[in-house]
Structure 1
Amino acid sequence: MKKVVILTTGGTIAMVKNEQGVVPYDKGNALISEIPSLKNLGVKIEVREFSNIPSPHMTPQKMWELSRTIDEILKDNDVIGVVVTHGTDTLEETSYLLDLTLKSEKPVVCTAAMRNIGELGTDGPRNVYSSVLTVLSPQANQMGVMVCLNDEIHAAREVTKTYTSNVATFDSPGYGPLGIVDEDNVIFFRKSLTREKILVDKIEEKVALIKTFTGDDGKLLKYAAEIGYKGIILEGFGRGNVPPLVAEAVEEIVKEKKIPVIITSRCFKGRVYPVYGYAGGGADLRKKGAIMSEHPIGQKAKIKLMVVLGKTSNLEEIRQYFEPNISRRIILHEG
């Protein structure tokens, strides 16, 4: 019989509340296999535990190990696809790393819960059920890694957590969902055109994510370079602009230390672009050696740089991964 593997990592979906607060339940993952609706789908459901940790305890190395584990599972011809249960806090990072690095194109759907097992209206069982339905949909092939919660299906690259407590927390700002689960029907509206694969044998964990602020003097940025980070994601304002002293720090880090600095934005719609030529403007930063990330969300750029650094440390090669459209336009303009 064909099967779907549910690979559990922990998170609120596997937690209960006690006198200490909401904590991992030692049998939480077992409850997933007891969801009655899963028994009527005509496929074998196999639950395997990868870990049982809170979402903030997830690390880049664990994400990488999860990617390798899923690829091994998907080599089995009887496995249709995989559902990964995860905590919501870092789900968007893990799902995006999987999307970039998984070799298989079989469906992989990440899901979670905003309410723990014992909470009124817990959303975990429905999210798992909807995710399995998504894996079983013929249209799910070639869609990349997806995130399914609250009966919405999102692309891993595009989705982000937007609300601290609401079950409708996951959204894809500027893009919208790929589709929905309505009752027992999976309906896809679109296919993402922004997906990419970066197949590597390793990742670089030492990538910092730093948010600039008014009055920033660049010292935090310099310190990150001094203590051994191999790459830095700098979250700027608007189009990717920063205070002038930060721009000077960027130039020093890139040109003297040869450490890539990727510019993102605190805005989660649109893209950074080298428009402004004043000191600290995007165009000025690019002249100083910074790389503009066409995806504005900092945590996504961090995951991507970890993967890219597993392949190359050449600054211009890294640039091609982050700003293909920007680089192409500038070349055409200069030509």
Structure 2
Amino acid sequence: MKKIVVLATGGTIAGSSTSSLSGKYESGKIDINDILDSFDEIKDIAKVCGIDICNIGSQNMNENIWLELVRKCNELLSSNEVDAIVITHGTDTLEESAYFLNLTIKSHKPVVMSAAMRSHNSLSSDGAMNLYNAISVAAADESAGMGVLVVINDEIHLAREVSKMDTIALNAFSSPNCGKCGIVHYGKVKFYTKSLRQHTLQSKFNPDILPRVDILYDYAGAKIETLYKSNAIKGIVCAALGNGNLSPQMLKFLKSARDNEVVVVISSRVNGGVINGSELDFAELGFIASDSLNPQKSRVLLMLSLSSKEDIEKIRDNFDIY
């Protein structure tokens, strides 16, 4: 049987509520091994053990935990005693963590992330089935070399493509540009597509620290001329309007930031689509188009690019490669 380690970071899947009919709960209250011991079905899939990395709501996720998590993943995956990893995570920032790991884990072995929209003791909680399916996907031979996968609500998604699209629904996650890459129904795994973008062993990123990159949200009548005087900011991602359009004050501010050698990436506040900036000359402005990456994932890639001390043209290429 495959040997799988479950790394837990907390989240709703480990959350506890005082009532099975209450949406109010505390994230990360239940130890991962207690969760694994609560159902025997996984013993038929693989030999599974759990390690708690942290017990937080994913709104408290940060770059230091990312770096700790990737170090632990690479350590475990380099061992012949580990065949795959499953990571439990809160839903709010799962897509960012998944994309970060997709670009920094150095192994072809399966890495699968999962979560829940209802707490562990909620009526009709989705956590146990999501975890069962995630372990099933991690145990599947076909999952090797796929990069980091996200399994939730019977669907398998690529880390680069998946986003949380609903605040409370069980089907909160989707991949708006490419769709899911597979399905898993009661542990039965089927894949239909894979990523053409580089990841894991193909990725060059191996960060020790992550420089500060902030996200600015554009809107009608934006007024931001007094913001961001800190020299600590190395990059800015703009959640721009539509296909990379910018309000007058935002455009003025981003030009100023670029003049001060801050790297500027233009994404969109729209949930899907590709940025090509048809109304602005990004090359002339010195901006970088995010391709189809949303703002939060653009921030991840920009941080990793800056950590490698790459010039702006190489960073621009990264958004076509990854």
Band the TM-score falls in, shorter-chain normalisation: over 0.9
Deviation of 1:78 after TM superposition, in Å, equals 2.2
Q: Describe the superposition over 1:72-92 as per-residue Cα deviations: whole angstroms up to 9, x where unpaired.
A: 011111211000001001110
- Give the structure 1 partner of residue 17 of structure 2: 17
Q: Describe the superposition over 1:244-267 as per-residue Cα deviations: whole angstroms up to 9, x where unpaired.
A: 232222222112x11101000112
**Whole-Å separation in 2 of the counterparts to 1:174 and 1:2:** 33
**Whole-Å separation in 1 of the counterparts to 2:310 and 2:261:** 9
Matched-pair identity in %: 34
- The verdict on how the C-alpha distance between 1:87 and 1:313 changes in structure 2, with shifts beyond 3 A counting, is same
**Whole-Å separation in 1 of the counterparts to 2:231 and 2:131:** 41
Which residue identity does 1:253 align to in structure 2?
A
Aligned counterparts, 1:21-32, within 5 A: 21-24=24-27, 26-32=29-35
- Give the structure 1 partner of residue 100 of structure 2: 97
**Whole-Å separation in 2 of the counterparts to 1:107 and 1:307:** 22
Q: Is the 8 A contact 2:5 2:50 kept in 1?
A: yes
Pair 1:236-2:240 in alignment: yes
**Whole-Å separation in 2 of the counterparts to 1:86 and 1:171:** 16
Q: Is the 8 A contact 2:11 2:28 kept in 1?
A: no
Deviation of 1:225 after TM superposition, in Å, equals 4.7
- The verdict on how the C-alpha distance between 1:203 and 1:295 changes in structure 2, with shifts beyond 3 A counting, is farther
What stretches of structure 1 of length at least 5 have no aligned partner?
A: 277-281, 326-335
SS of the residue 1:22 aligns to: coil
Using the size of structure 1 for normalisation, the TM-score is: 0.89
- Give the structure 2 partner of residue 315 of structure 1: 312
Which residue identity does 2:195 align to in structure 1?
S
**Whole-Å separation in 2 of the counterparts to 1:119 and 1:2:** 31
Deviation of 1:138 after TM superposition, in Å, equals 1.1
Q: Which moved more, 1:304-313 or 1:119-128?
A: 304-313
Deviation of 1:303 after TM superposition, in Å, equals 0.9
Aligned counterparts, 1:57-206, within 5 A: 57-196=60-199, 197-206=203-212
**Whole-Å separation in 1 of the counterparts to 2:181 and 2:170:** 18
Q: Is the 8 A contact 2:70 2:101 kept in 1?
A: yes
**Whole-Å separation in 1 of the counterparts to 2:313 and 2:303:** 16
1:39 paired residue among 36, 40, 43: 43
Q: Which moved more, 1:177-186 or 1:211-220?
A: 211-220
- Give the structure 2 partner of residue 210 of structure 1: 216
Deviation of 1:238 after TM superposition, in Å, equals 1.2
Q: Is the 8 A contact 1:127 1:150 kept in 2?
A: yes
**Whole-Å separation in 2 of the counterparts to 1:210 and 1:261:** 10
| Structure of greater Rg | 1
- The verdict on how the C-alpha distance between 1:27 and 1:174 changes in structure 2, with shifts beyond 3 A counting, is closer
Aligned counterparts, 1:295-314, within 5 A: 295-314=292-311
Pair 1:290-2:287 in alignment: yes
- Give the structure 2 partner of residue 55 of structure 1: 58
**Whole-Å separation in 1 of the counterparts to 2:2 and 2:85:** 12
- The verdict on how the C-alpha distance between 1:232 and 1:121 changes in structure 2, with shifts beyond 3 A counting, is same
Using the size of structure 2 for normalisation, the TM-score is: 0.92
**Whole-Å separation in 2 of the counterparts to 1:229 and 1:59:** 16
Q: Describe the superposition over 1:47-76 as per-residue Cα deviations: whole angstroms up to 9, x where unpaired.
A: 111111111111011112101110001111
Deviation of 1:192 after TM superposition, in Å, equals 1.3
**Whole-Å separation in 2 of the counterparts to 1:47 and 1:312:** 36
**Whole-Å separation in 2 of the counterparts to 1:97 and 1:250:** 25
Q: Describe the superposition over 1:95-151 as per-residue Cα deviations: whole angstroms up to 9, x where unpaired.
A: 110001111111000001111011111011111110111011111011000000011
Following TM superposition, where does structure 1 have runs of at least 4 consecutive aligned residues deviating by more than 6 angstroms?
none
Deviation of 1:313 after TM superposition, in Å, equals 4.6
The aligned length equals 315
**Whole-Å separation in 1 of the counterparts to 2:321 and 2:2:** 40
**Whole-Å separation in 2 of the counterparts to 1:183 and 1:29:** 21
